[in-house]
Amino acid sequence: MKKEDLEPPKKINYEHFKEKGIDTVMELTVLSIGFEGKGGEDPDLLLLVDVKTRVVGVSDAAILYENKLEYRSPKRKFTKWIKNEGRPFIEELGTAYSSISGKVLEELFLNYDFNEWLKERE
């Protein structure tokens, strides 16, 4: 993972959330969506989706967590991806977003030591 993959395109001010009692914001940024494979008449291609996740402190814009996640689909022939007006592609995008959402949930909420986080915030 390259450092520039984790850097935000610009600094966003989230201070307006403080008045609503919100102290952290989770950002999800889709870095890229595309196909990967070799050329040819009807190449085998896989769908690749890269996403950056960050948790940012509202009051100080401190980055509390950041990671890059990727989804790679099974390979399909190009003609299969575009079949039925691209339906397989659209369905696979849904699968990609569900998979990435599950990974974010697991990383941030199921495998995270919130007691340690609370100690750091005191």
Q: pLDDT tens, 72-117? A: 999 999 999 999 999 999 999 999 999 999 998 888 877 666 667 6
Q: What percent of the chain has pLDDT over 90?
A: 55
Averaged pLDDT for residues 44-52: 96
- Tokens 């940024």 belong to residue: 29
In CATH, what number is assigned to the domain containing residue 13? 3.30.160
pLDDT for 8 beyond 80: no
The pLDDT of residue 77: 96
Instruction: Please give the tally of structural domains in the chain.
Output: 1
Residue listed under structure tokens 């340690």: 116
Whether 70 has a pLDDT exceeding 60, the answer reads yes
Q: Is 10 exposed, middle or buried (0-12, 13-18, 19+ CB in 10 A)?
A: exposed
Domain that residue 17 falls in: 3-121
Residue 5 pLDDT = 58
